[in-house]
Chain A
Amino acid sequence: MGAASETKGGGFRAWLNKRMPVDQFMADQLTGYYAPKNFNIWYFFGSLALLVFVMQIVTGIFITMHYKPGEATAFNSVEYLMREVPYGWLLRTLHSTGASAFFIVVYLHMARALLYGSYKAPRELLWVIGMLIYFALMAEAFMGYVLPWGNMSFWGAQVIINIFNTIPGIGPDLVEWIRGDYAVADSTLNRFFSLHVIAMPFLLALLILLHLVALRQVGSNNPDGIEIKENLGPDGKPVDGIPFHPYYTLKDVVGVGVFLTLFAVVVFFAPTFGGLFLEKPNFEPANPMSTPEHIAPTWYFTPYYAILRAIPDQRLGALAFALSVLAFVFLPWLDRAKNKSIRYRGLASKALLGMFFIVFLVLMWLGLQPAEPVYVLMARICIPLYFAFFILLPFVSKADGNGPVPSRVTYHAH
């Protein structure tokens, strides 16, 4: 190979591929990876979650350039960013809206898994890794919310960290260790800054990579819940599969376009989203002597918060709180149906799942309301319904999800 040809496109490509399996990788992962052709709207949210992750990293990098961690400087630095840095207001708003968008997308992504049994074998590990991403994401969001050091940042941190007090034996020491002080203070803020900016993003990136590797290994599920790899054509490819590139790369671009349009509407026209994305009390600096009128975490935590608050016993409440989050992990083993998708399960399964979705949303709304008796009562009704989903699932799924399934996916050419 002469020196001249190495500088041309074709030559460079050959040079590169001799040293790194670029073309092989593209062929394996994109044009050679077959995904079911019957993906519907529920299948956009995985790629959108990845998009939002990248957006949060990029906007996060840029706002960290202006943010100053520390009790005395944090709040002021955020106002500095909003008012004095060119387009600082936009960078901040992209990041705050992105945080809420991340959870909207992730919840819809998880809902897809519940609808179509995407957590069932052989995708149990994929689901568990996904749950780890969810936990890491909640930690990341919680710590990020503390950083502006507004009054809700402070009190939200105080309340949530105090939950760990309930752990028998080690509780109080653990809480002091987490805080690095006798109350949420400068030390807490600074360590959360480090974790939020570096440690958790690295962990999230690793988990997301593992999630994609696990997905690649087993292949995507689909709305009909049938395994396309069990029906191969004469070319060795699934008859109901299509190459990821160009079909799903192009389809996902449309999904990105729609998402970004809606995202832009919020960012530019309703950035606080009625106090849900940027909460009112957080526009006052942290004040250890003045608790906001009603403390609530950001909306994406409120279903679990409603459960915590409704139980009069502190330890039991914390336990229920933990279980309500952890319960999801066990779904692959709780669900004993033969059929994956809700399409091929009976009315009981549909009712149970529908009830769960509704209860989840009601609990989310309840967690945002003040701690008044009527809301606590409603939460106390919802809690047994919430757990009933997980408890009844083994029985309902076993009874309900064994009917016939088609051999080919449901697809209409368009």
Chain B
Amino acid sequence: MRTNKLSVIGALALLLGAGSAIAAEHHAEWERAADNEVANLPSLQRGARNFMSYCSGCHSLKYVRYSRIGTDLHISDAALAQLLVRPGDKPTDYIKASMPASDAQDWFGKQPPDLSLVARSRGTDWIFNFLTTFYADPASRQTGVNNLQLPGTAMPHVLASLQGVQTLRTANHEAGATPEAAAKAEGAEHGEAHEGKASPFEPGVVGSLTPVQYDEFVRDTVNFLDYASDPSQLERQGLGIWVVLFLLMFTGIAYMLKGEYWKDVR
């Protein structure tokens, strides 16, 4: 009967809700959204420069050519050669890591992964959090740092000169910490509450950028990696608007034609 159907649906809904709640516990406690915009060209350009300066030493972008970045991000050949292309590389070359793979294996125990598709395989949020949640952990890590997004990462804190090296606030994991207390302790800038949660970090060594500037830096870099993982997205949506409009027009005309002939059917 109708009531049976409803009660079945109700029971399922309850279980679904319970399921979602349990699933949510598995997310990292401190996860922020990258909020990058691929349409923001200057951001992409800064991100490209950030990548070449800080990341390309160890990480390759093996599916990306310098020249393609130049075309897509409207960077002139001269600027490309001066700021992005590694000396010795041609503009049409794919971007290789400077560090030889064997050295990386020796120093880090594994080869730093290629980053051409990382924004697609891990997601921009993941990368943003990875780059912003390094903290001092000399006790357990040879590199001296650990990471909330990827605990036990072999990567050192390459951006330490910019962000500084924060420390993990041990009190944060207790129920007592509140956003207000955190903000009061560190000042609004660093201990900013995010969605009502207090930052798990407190400042340690200070870097050359403020936390807000550092977030922007990381956002630009993530933005660039987002573009690099799928360059077509820059033109895809523009083209899509025209296609959808055309199809709507076609459907409208076809609908009128159908209606005209179906007047015959009584």
Interface residues of A (CB under 8 A from B): 37, 76, 79-80, 82-83, 89-90, 242, 246-247, 250-251, 253-254, 256-258, 260-261, 264-265, 267-269, 271-272, 280-284, 347, 351, 354-355, 358, 362, 369-370, 372, 374-375, 377-378, 381, 385, 411, 413-414
Contact = CB atoms under 8 A, between A and B. Distances in A.
Given A250-B254, A251-B258, A254-B254, 17 more contacts: A80-B63, A83-B231, A257-B255, A261-B247, A267-B240, A268-B236, A268-B237, A283-B120, A347-B2, A351-B1, A351-B5, A358-B12, A362-B12, A374-B15, A378-B12, A413-B265, A414-B259
A242 B261 CA distance: 12
A280 B120 CA distance: 6
B42 interface: no
Contacts of B99: none
B254 A253 contact: yes
B8 A358 contact: yes
Interface in B167-196: none
B248 interface: yes
Contacts of A358: 8-9, 12
A152 to B, nearest CB: 10
A261 B246 CA distance: 9
Interface residues of B, number: 47
Contact of B8 (A82, A282, A355, A414): A355
7 contacts: A79-B63, A89-B230, A250-B254, A257-B250, A260-B247, A268-B241, A268-B243
B121 A254 contact: no
A355 B254 CA distance: 37
A265 B240 contact: yes
Interface stretch (B16-24, B27-35, B52-60, B83-91): B16-24
A247 B261 contact: yes
B259 to A, nearest CB: 8
Contacts of A37: 265
A83 to B, nearest CB: 6
A379 B22 CA distance: 16
Contacts of A271: 236
Contact of B117 (A242, A268, A284, A378): A284
A413 B266 contact: yes
Contacts of A83: 63-64, 68, 231-232
Interface string B103-144: 000000000000011001111000000000000000000000
Contacts of A269: 236-237, 240
Contacts, number: 117
Contacts of B243: 264, 268
A361 to B, nearest CB: 10
B102 interface: no
B244 A261 contact: yes
B39 to A, nearest CB: 13
A413 B261 CA distance: 12
A271 to B, nearest CB: 8
A283 B121 contact: yes
B45 interface: no
A283 B251 contact: no
Contacts of B266: 413
A349 to B, nearest CB: 12
Contacts of B18: 374
B4 A351 contact: yes
Contacts of B236: 89-90, 268-269, 271
Nearest to B259: A414
A347 B120 CA distance: 48
A265 to B, nearest CB: 6
B232 A281 contact: no
A83 B8 CA distance: 49
Contacts of A369: 19, 23
Contacts of B122: 280
A374 B21 CA distance: 11
B79 interface: no
Closest A-B pairs by Cβ, 7 of them? A268-B240, A257-B251, A89-B232, A283-B121, A283-B120, A261-B247, A283-B117
Contacts of A89: 230, 232, 236
B78 interface: no
A259 B262 CA distance: 21
Contact of B265 (A247, A254, A261, A282): A247
Contacts of B123: 280
A332 B19 CA distance: 37
Interface in B218-266: 229-232, 236-237, 239-241, 243-244, 247-248, 250-251, 254-255, 257-259, 261-262, 264-266
B76 to A, nearest CB: 22
